[in-house]
Structure 1
Amino acid sequence: MLKPLLPALFLASPLCAEVPKVVTDIAPVQGLVASVMGDLGTPELLVPQGASPHDHALSPSEARNLQDADLVVWIGAELSPGIGRKIDAIAGSAAELALFDAEVTAHLATRDGALFEHDHDHGDDGHAHGEHAHEDHDHDHDHDHDHDHDHDHDHDDDDHDDHDHEGHSDAHHDDDDHAADAHGHDHGPEDPHVWLSPANARAWLGVIADALAEADRENAGAYRANAEAAQAEIDAAVTTARAQLDAARDSRFVVFHDAYQYFEDTFGLNVLGAIQLSDATAPSPARLSELRDAIAETGATCVFAEPQFDSRLIDAVTEGTEVKVAELDPLGMALEPGAGFYPALIGDLATRISDCAAD
């Protein structure tokens, strides 16, 4: 949802308006904004590639970028409550666009169990749930989140801003298997990984163009034309990915954390379950055991690790099985940031999944 832009920011005539300084949270959002801005400017990134948005503590340079921002475009507090508090405290008069709350955003219910039930019913665009937010999708999920991983994040990055964390990933917890548990939080009834729905990303391009056009009316036409071109690129990427993944629809996969539901829903994939919940909380031994048994019983094709998280948990669910292990990254750490990032992310995920299914 876009907070009203303060008049003081835009008193100048559209003929002399400056391109706004834009800050984004994660690389997929930065890529979408970059594609709309085109040659007019480059949005800054708050969560560097290789870090997890679930628990990233801002470095001093990232905090300064936030302080200087005219517009902040991010997923929302459902994904990164710590960053949300920093936006409120540091961004000052900046306008804020929380994509999770945009009217065009379609949501899926958060999943709690280690194993998933599947009921794909895709329309022509491959998305089962339309393009409007807050609809009742009848997933028959129990949203009574009574988990030990519910924690208050008020302590999260406040103690870290005095230290420069540049070049350091806050997401790697190799020295402590339970570090994620210290940062875990309940995302609530709706899955926050909304950027992995191409339908959402496509719709957001128009919302981002409107926000930039409001801030910079002189270049409104360029922003909207860029958004239309980027929408066509997403359409092409989805068509290619659908063809790639066609042979993988009968395969069964296990993912590291439950971040891919929107991608699964779009392309009709059969993900058996996830090692970690969608908020990246450390799994219980019982959850690992349940997944290990399911892998053995169903003949799962592949277990996907993630570069942001401890790979030793993969060993815990694959021990004693012959299931293949590959890497999947919902944030596209290995991809080149900037315009074109989002179609590349869709293609990268499709390629990694199809390659593992085919091996």
Structure 2
Amino acid sequence: MTQNNKQLISFLMIFSSLIFMQTIANFANAKVISSVKPIGFITEAIVSGVTDTDIILPDGASPHTYYLKPSDLAKLKSAELVIWVGKDMEAFMPTILKNIDKQKQIELMTVPEIKSLLRTSHDKHEQEDAHSHDEVSQGHHGEYDEHIWLSPKIAKIIAQSIHDRLITLYPDKSTLIDENLDEFITKLTETEQNIAKKLITVQNRGYFVFHDAYGYFEAQFGLKKLGSFTINPAVQPGVQKVYAIQQKLKDHQAVCVFREPQFSPAVIEKIVSGTDVRIGELNPLGTSITLSKGAYSQFLSNLTQQLMDCLDRN
């Protein structure tokens, strides 16, 4: 090997090392990390202008089945604050967070004001079937419904919790943090009023969802969900559940069945075949929305429009 070749190889090794180190540094840049995108939307609204934020769960992935990558570990270990829902939602988080200071994380399911508003993870339709073979085979998905970002009421508490922790982390930016919270609450209240006006026209139209994730939103806005295919979307619905839903569709009790971008089982196409029932799509993780200060209200508005697009057709 010539001297020139040796020098070239040496240069390339050093260059590659620098690129790798810069990549790790970039992963570790964000100071406030959220587990899933909708929590990241709320976080960004409060943290905007204070420091950088990032989200662990990539678009298209499910919090129920995701595995952390080395880059995720770098983000979490270097963060000043990690915001996540709870162990039954993000199964990928508890192990790594055991090694991170409790003062550097907010587990939202343990916030007292949120705990008082929690719904059980099974609606009345699921409870009626709870002892059937299908339900037992699927297993329980936690005692409470952890899709708390779908409750505007809880979102305000999440924002307040993030605000309170940020004030202690960045006392010199307390005025900006206060302003961010006030702006978020005002915008969200306006969004809630707009959503209520829209959805009042479809409150009596029955539907099924693939994944039992929307209970908080449905309760607040008086929607008529008839049931869900599954509680844990990582588990396909059993034969008895599918048959029961087919019977309800044949009885004309529903006008729509909603699937999700990351879970679109062929079973839905089969179930609605031969009926007038429409297939809609709901996105409970806001995967099409860009992270921004106003993203949370946009997320709720998009979800509302997805419901209207299917339920409001004549």
1:291 matched to 2:253? The reply is: no
Match of 1:101 in 2: 110
Q: What do residues 159-216 of structure 1 show as CA deviations (whole Å, max 9, x unaligned)?
A: xxxxxxxxxxxxxxxxxxxxxxxxxxx3322111111010000121111100111111
1:147 matched to 2:157? The reply is: no
* Greater relative contact order (CA < 8 Å, ≥ 6 in sequence): 1
Which structure shows the bigger proportion of residues in helix conformation? 2
Match of 2:18 in 1: none
Q: Give 5+ residue unaligned stretches, structure 2.
A: 1-28
Q: Note if contact 2:84-2:107 (Cα within 8 Å) is conserved in structure 1.
A: yes
The 1:290/1:110 distance shift into structure 2, 3 A limit, reads same
Alpha-carbon distance in 1 for matches of 2:129, 2:137:
19
Q: Secondary structure at the match of 1:209?
A: helix
Alignment of 1:181-196 (within 5 A): 186-196=140-150
1:147 aligned partner, one-letter code: V
Alpha-carbon distance in 1 for matches of 2:131, 2:174:
42
Q: Note if contact 1:25-1:47 (Cα within 8 Å) is conserved in structure 2.
A: yes
Alignment of 1:174-185 (within 5 A): none
Q: Secondary structure at the match of 2:105?
A: strand
Alpha-carbon distance in 2 for matches of 1:197, 1:350:
13
Residue 21 of structure 1 deviates from its aligned partner by 0.9
Match of 2:40 in 1: 30
Residue 66 of structure 1 deviates from its aligned partner by 0.7
1:219 matched to 2:230? The reply is: no
Which range moved further: 246-255 or 274-283? 274-283
Residue 278 of structure 1 deviates from its aligned partner by 4.4
Alpha-carbon distance in 2 for matches of 1:57, 1:283:
23
RMSD across aligned positions (CA)? 2.4
The 1:27/1:110 distance shift into structure 2, 3 A limit, reads same
Match of 1:183 in 2: none
Alpha-carbon distance in 1 for matches of 2:69, 2:299:
26
Alpha-carbon distance in 2 for matches of 1:43, 1:313:
38
Q: Note if contact 1:20-1:71 (Cα within 8 Å) is conserved in structure 2.
A: no
Alpha-carbon distance in 1 for matches of 2:61, 2:278:
25
The 1:58/1:307 distance shift into structure 2, 3 A limit, reads same
Match of 2:64 in 1: 54
Alpha-carbon distance in 1 for matches of 2:192, 2:311:
19
Q: Secondary structure at the match of 2:270?
A: helix
1:231 aligned partner, one-letter code: I
Which range moved further: 50-59 or 274-283? 274-283
Q: Secondary structure at the match of 2:59?
A: coil
Alpha-carbon distance in 2 for matches of 1:230, 1:92:
28
Alpha-carbon distance in 2 for matches of 1:334, 1:234:
19
Instruction: Provide TM-score, normalisation by structure 2.
Output: 0.83
Q: Note if contact 2:205-2:311 (Cα within 8 Å) is conserved in structure 1.
A: yes
1:239 aligned partner, one-letter code: Q
Runs (4+) off by over 6 Å: 140-146
1:270 pairs with one of 202, 212, 224: 224
1:66 matched to 2:76? The reply is: yes
Which range moved further: 316-325 or 266-275? 316-325
Q: Secondary structure at the match of 2:92?
A: helix
Match of 2:201 in 1: 247
Match of 1:132 in 2: none
Residue 96 of structure 1 deviates from its aligned partner by 1.0
Residue 292 of structure 1 deviates from its aligned partner by 1.2
1:357 matched to 2:314? The reply is: no
Identity of aligned residues (%): 26
Match of 1:257 in 2: 211
Alpha-carbon distance in 2 for matches of 1:301, 1:324:
6
Q: Note if contact 1:26-1:46 (Cα within 8 Å) is conserved in structure 2.
A: yes
Alpha-carbon distance in 1 for matches of 2:239, 2:245:
10
Instruction: Provide TM-score, normalisation by structure 1.
Output: 0.73
Match of 1:302 in 2: 256
Q: Give 5+ residue unaligned stretches, structure 1.
A: 1-18, 118-139, 151-185
Residue 112 of structure 1 deviates from its aligned partner by 6.5
Match of 1:86 in 2: 96
Alpha-carbon distance in 2 for matches of 1:107, 1:209:
21
Alpha-carbon distance in 1 for matches of 2:295, 2:131:
34
